[in-house]
Structure 1
Amino acid sequence: MRTQLNVTLLAPGIMIEGNVILDHGLSLFGIVDGNLIANEGLLHIGQGGLVKGQVEGEHVRIDGTVEGDLHARGSLEVNGRVKGNIYYCGTIRLGPSASLEGQLKRVSRELVIEDTASRADDTSNVQQLPRTLAI
């Protein structure tokens, strides 16, 4: 049985204004002015690539620039520049040319969300969701 690999390529010269949400991998060499979320696969910001917003993915590799918070649920490799906080669950590798302006935080794979409707009355109503859900 052969596994199909789905990857979207956004080449140099492209600029997207708005959020980009994918259910597969992405390799970005252009500019995204908005949040960038890949639910599965490799999310790669290549050299010359720029994201002005939050980045979230399963496996993330940064060779370009991210100006916003970065969330990696699996592996994370940074060889480029991140201006924002980094939240990671799995492994992390910082290359020799990595530049970080923000905090580096290891988080659990589960995300805790409070029920806002009942929060005013009772703060004990907390729902735990798997981290794989995009928010």
Structure 2
Amino acid sequence: MKSYWLNIPVADIKRTRAFYNGIGLEFHQGNSDDNMTGLKVGSQMLMFFNKSVLESRTGMSFTDTDDGNEFIVSFDLESNEEVDQLAVNVERSGGEVLEQPRQSHGYYGFAFKDPDGHLFNVIVM
């Protein structure tokens, strides 16, 4: 395999762009319209699609994140200070910090939900 990416269903692409830009991440300008947008993290892509687009392409419905989640995306940052700032940016941008940054299991980090309820874990390794 040459590469991989995640296709993540969202309710509103504009809200998704605003949230992730607000926490300090930038979207790839190439593959972006009102139904999808791509965010490069390190060398990998997170692709966000309007939920209805993914459902029509797959013929399946996706998990209601109010009832549960199927995965957690984890990010590795360089420093505790970057972790702390990201937690502030998540709250300012409309996400939900699930646990404040702290030392746990040998790592410093925190967990959050984006506006669509997707779960993320952020740590310093």
TM-score, L = length of structure 2: 0.22
- Which one has the bigger strand percentage? 1
Q: Quick check: which has more Rg, 1 or 2?
A: 1
Q: Which structure features the higher share of helix residues? A: 2
